[in-house]
Amino acid sequence: MSALNGKRPETVSPTPLAALTAGLRDGSIALRDYVEAALDRIDRYDGRIRALLPEPGRRERVLAEAAALEAAWPDPASRPPLYGALLGVKDIFAADGFETRAGSRLPPESFAMPQGPVVTALRAAGAIVVGKTVTTEFAYFAPGPTANPWDLSRTPGGSSSGSAAAVAAGFCSLALGTQTIGSISRPAAYCGIAGWKPSYDRTSRDGVVPFSPSLDHVGLLAPRAADIAVAAALIASGWDAAAYGAALARYARMRPILAVPDGRYLAQADSSALAAFDATVARLQGAGYSVIRVAALDDIDDINARHRRIAAAEMERTHRGRTPEYGGLYAPSTAELIEKGALIDDNELELDRSGRASLRTALERLLEEAGADYWLSPAATGPASVGLDSTGSPLMNLPWTNAGLPTLALPTCQSVDGMPMGLQLAAPFGADEALLALGVGVETVLSAPR
């Protein structure tokens, strides 16, 4: 395995958000220069990557918004936290001035809704929407045209395909994504960036086309954990800045204990993912982290099945009002999921939903009994696969999504064929601030020269 900070193709150029916004706010980075450079990258590369939905007049619109932002905030001392940062918005979010198609062939008016509080908060903080990002159809498995910036013959993952690819390619430094199974963590791992799935309900789902309301999480993709923390503070309900700062200081002095869930769950990953993961564990141990193995998730087959039943049943219910008129426009994989969901009755659905809390309790109890602080696992079953007809396996992400625990995917290394590999940290419910602080420390170790 080679370090992720080794050789990169020209289509990969993530721009860390925290440093960027600091420069934009104090004026050491000229807003127009930054915007022009990003738009030039889009013009040069997005015809091949296809991370953003086409938008006539994008350059003129974005430059006009940047000029308006400069006029509104002439004093650097008062500029908002995301002043001038370009933001990618997954095309299941409503955003004023943009249509929403949800990666589908359905008419956009069928998804008309007000812009939600997450997009509103990021825009109010000074972010400029660079465009809508490609999503799989209704955030399920039918892929869009997006290619992985690391290798254009490979998938970027999904469903937040365009969001991950846009950040990795340097089209924006922050993007919105959603995760119902593995749709933030896996694209982040495949594209060599960071991805945060918050605790369930920690971020608002208003203004988002639903897939499975019991499982949907609204999160962020950015180059690094510190970048995500900047934006998470703006959208996470009850964000505790003092707790985040205290955790940063604590983990700089004392390494937390990490637990690897050993057993059938981990065995779902392929040999390349496990080899990269073992190498990452060794690096963390060498930097002072204690990593222990804990028998966990041996009922993963049942968890996987339960999760899929919830997703199918709730997809069918959220689309009941559309399928009579538009059913012929759905992709075969989505139509098949809806058909399966129709066979699941309400009693079975409620029983499956109740399993989420039980799993959360079990995972948190295992951590406590083991004397560990966080779970550590691979972020994907392997590197991004060749071909754009599949977005890869979400099995490494599924149990944490089912339990609603917060997760953070971070890049670790490159595979023997030069593709990014990632790890996944999971925290107790509600501990998003501490998780992101941990991520800052972990990525510092993993990005250090060896």
Q: Where are the domains of the chain?
A: 2-299+354-447
- Reading the chain (450 residues) residue by residue, the pLDDT tens digits are 445 766 799 999 999 999 999 999 999 999 999 999 999 999 999 999 999 999 999 999 999 999 999 999 999 999 999 999 999 999 999 999 999 999 999 999 999 999 999 999 999 999 999 999 999 999 999 999 999 999 999 999 999 999 999 999 999 999 999 999 999 999 999 999 999 999 999 999 999 999 999 999 999 999 999 999 999 999 999 999 999 999 999 999 999 999 999 999 999 999 999 999 999 999 999 999 999 999 999 999 999 999 999 999 999 999 999 999 999 999 999 999 999 999 999 999 999 999 999 999 999 999 999 999 999 999 999 999 999 999 999 999 999 999 999 999 999 999 999 999 999 999 999 999 999 999 999 999 999 887
| CA of residue 68 relative to chain centroid, distance | 30
∠396-440-442 over CA atoms, to 5°?
60
Give the integer Cα–Cα distance in Å for 60 and 66. 10
Token match 């499982």: residue? Answer: 215
Q: Report the SS3 class of residue 208.
A: strand
Which of 380, 23, 435, 59 has the alpha carbon at shortest distance from 193? 380
Radius of gyration of the chain (CA): 21
d(C-alpha 400, C-alpha 219), whole Å: 14
CB-CB contact of 100 with 91 (8 Å): yes
Are 396 and 377 in contact by the 8 Å Cβ rule? The answer is: yes
Peptide bond into 159 cis (omega under 30): yes
Instruction: Tell me what pLDDT residue 3 has.
Output: 56
Contacts of 64 (CB under 8 A, 6+ apart): none
Q: Are 290 and 401 in contact (CB under 8 A)?
A: no
Show Cβ contacts of residue 304 under 8 Å, excluding neighbours closer than 6 positions.
395, 398
- Asked if 188 contacts 165 with a C-beta cutoff of 8 angstroms, the reply is no
Are 409 and 376 spatial neighbours (Cβ–Cβ below 8 Å)?
no
What distances in angstroms separate CA 323 from CA 93, 106, 340, one per listed residue?
Answer: 20, 10, 14
Sign of dihedral through CA atoms 198, 204, 207, 208?
positive
Per-residue pLDDT at 334: 97
Q: What is the predicted pLDDT for the residue at 1?
A: 42
Which DSSP category does 116 fall into?
P
Give alpha helix (H) positions in 236-390: 241-253, 271-286, 300-318, 323-326, 332-342, 346-370
pLDDT of residue 2: 46
Class of domain 2-299+354-447: alpha beta
The pTM of the whole model exceeds 0.85: yes
Q: Which residues are catalytic?
A: 90, 159, 183
Q: In b/e form, how buried is each residue of 106-134, taking b as 16+ CB within 10 angstroms?
A: beeebbeeebbbbbbbbbebbbbbbbbbb
Residue 404: strand, helix, or coil: coil
Locate 195 and state its tokens. Answer: 């991805």
